[in-house]
Chains A and B, each alone.
Chain A
Amino acid sequence: MAATRADTLQSVELADGVEIRLRVAGLAARSMAYTLDLLLRLLIYLVMFFVFMLLVMPSIGKELTTGLFLLFLFFMEWFYNVFFEAGAKGATPGQRSMKLRVMSVTGGPVTFAQAVMRNFLRVVDFMPGLYLTGIVCMLFTKRFQRLGDLVANTVVTYVETPPVKQPDVRVQAERRAPMQVLTREEQAALLQFIERAPHWADERRMELAAIAEPLTGARGVDGLRKLCGMALWLQDPEGKKEEPPPLKSPPLFIS
């Protein structure tokens, strides 16, 4: 059975042979970034309008000023995003504030040509209004790509944040071997569970542990306890760690 994924991580193999995982950004974050950029652009237009009117016009005359302002409009309309996305950060100011970034699907930075393609095609993505075409297209592609992204072969991802230091939590459960052979994916899921469970509420832990009922054969606290025990066994199958035997009915997680 092809497991349906619960996250938006996309695996990409780099030219160096290693597989990296990209966290693809969804509609909400990208819309926020776009709105921020829109506001910033309006602000720039406004400021530049007054600069042209009050400072440039008196010194070089009306016609030259009109011309320069039209050139400025042209470059802002077509090259604002291109300039920032092809730059070192790979993100416009709006995208940066939402911790987003444009990348090539291959995992590398965006080239100038790719930035041009994805941004010029905004015209179609915008049709018939409010980026409707782009949004529909994003919902039907697994990497949330709009038409411009598809042609330019780009993807918008979250910037990696360094993992936060998490408090050390001891799990008080009896180590036990799983009663059946687990596949690698299942083992990975169990290991991730034990790593993240300390940071959830009890209800959430129980809810997720209930999914593994076929494995543990129990529900509720009992199922959770057994599941944690199996995860502990997977972390350290040979039991080299010296641990005090758990108390009769201890709290499961101790920080």
Chain B
Amino acid sequence: MTPAQFEKNIEPRWQRLEKLLQNVEQGKAGQDAVELPAVFRQVCHDLSVAQHRMSPQRITQRLNGLAIRAYRVLERRGAGGWETFIRLFAVDFPRAVRAEWKLFWWCTALFYLPAVLLAAITPSHPEWAMALLGPEQMIMIESMYGESSTPSDYVRDNFGSSFAAFCFYIWNNVGIDFKTFAGGMLGGVGALFVLLFNAFYLGAVFGYVHYSGNPLTLYTWVIAHGAPELTGIVISAMAGLRVGLTVLSPGRLSRRDALVLSGRKALPLLTGAAVLTSLAAVLEGFWSPLDLGAPVKFSVGALCWLAVGGFLFLGGRERLK
């Protein structure tokens, strides 16, 4: 077969594919769209032959472009909608946390131990917390949780301000989750920094309120939304560390492949952290400002902690038959 004959032979096929692709890409796929895979394979074959025979570029380039376009059309799949998303959160996320349980406990320890330590020493040695908070923060804390404050100071009864608060927490806190994750890429340093910084800051606030304020105001305010929010920040740091530790020690895989895999492992963690933080925003926006009295607040808060812990420990397990 001469090159000219070959060119003539393959022309109807690629023209057919081009037409089918045009229809599909414009969203008006007709009955004949079922032919697409078969025509695509034929054109792939033609491309291989053309490459092997070193056909002129006008042929190989055209076939190459068509093959790429058709492959995109054939391989394209929707994101899966809400079902995939809910599955990612409700099943894949707790499984991913348990699969990385060592990392989870490390992150948890790195977060809560410094916080508790700092909070515990502040009443007797307040200078550490004071240095960390600075005068402006101290004034703010005293005005919010000072000795004369009561839990009912923060009651919001208007829907608008609660909604504005909710949106602010989404924008700020979920954004921090995402940044923490991204910071983990630098060998885990960024994620660790955010984790430790938040731990010390939290410890300083709690310690300082114990030292010079009314702890009841603080605890009734934070107990419920603290469960998903603190867990969210721990898990977003965990997602970042997953990627960062892979950069440091990729194991048996090449660094490039290991990175791709670690990204896939981190995605359910990141999704889970974002959803938990969003739930915390809902609670912080609409539940925490309700005037309900300390016993109700504390029992619901305990339930929140139990729910988050139970979800992480039990969620997504296969049912026993």
Contacts and interface: CB of A to CB of B under 8 A. Distances in A.
Given A70-B168, A111-B79, A120-B181, A21 B54 contact: no
B76 A71 contact: no
Contacts of B178: 78, 120, 123
Q: Pick the 8 closest A-B CB pairs, nearest first.
A: A160-B65, A63-B160, A67-B167, A123-B182, A112-B79, A18-B44, A108-B75, A151-B263
Contact of B44 (A14, A88, A111, A163): A14
Interface string A181-199: 0001001100110011000
Interface in A32-72: 61-64, 66-68, 70-71
Interface string B178-211: 1101110110001000000000000000000000
| Contact-residue size bin, chain B (C-beta under 8 Å from the other chain) | 35 or more
Interface stretch (B107-115, B129-137, B169-177, B310-318): B169-177
A116 B263 CA distance: 10
A153 to B, nearest CB: 5
B224 interface: no
Interface string A5-23: 0000000001011111110
B181 A86 contact: no
Given A121-B182, A153-B260, 4 more contacts: A61-B160, A63-B163, A66-B164, A67-B164
Interface in A177-232: 184, 187-188, 191-192, 195-196
B163 A64 contact: yes
A188 B182 CA distance: 45
A124 B182 contact: yes
A24 interface: no
A150 B76 contact: no
A86 B48 contact: no
Contacts of B171: 70-71, 73-74
A41 B147 CA distance: 47
A176 B283 CA distance: 83
B266 to A, nearest CB: 8
B36 interface: no
A123 B179 contact: yes
Interface residues of A, number: 58
Given A17-B44, A120-B178, A151 B67 contact: no
Interface of A: 14, 16-22, 61-64, 66-68, 70-71, 73-74, 77-78, 86, 88, 90, 103, 107-109, 111-113, 116-117, 120-124, 127, 147, 150-153, 160-163, 166, 184, 187-188, 191-192, 195-196, 235, 240
Interface stretch (B56-64, B119-127, B214-222, B292-300): B56-64
15 contacts: A14-B71, A61-B160, A63-B163, A63-B164, A66-B167, A67-B166, A73-B171, A109-B76, A120-B270, A124-B182, A151-B260, A152-B260, A153-B263, A160-B68, A188-B54
A117 B56 contact: no
B69 A113 contact: no
Nearest to B45: A18
Interface string B255-271: 01001101110010010
B243 interface: yes
B28 to A, nearest CB: 13
Contacts of A108: 71-72, 75-76
Interface in B197-251: 243
Contacts of A109: 72, 75-76
A19 B71 contact: no
B161 interface: yes
B239 to A, nearest CB: 10
B41 interface: yes
B321 interface: no
B65 A161 contact: yes
Contacts of A196: 57
A131 to B, nearest CB: 13
A73 B68 CA distance: 35
B243 A151 contact: yes
B68 A107 contact: yes
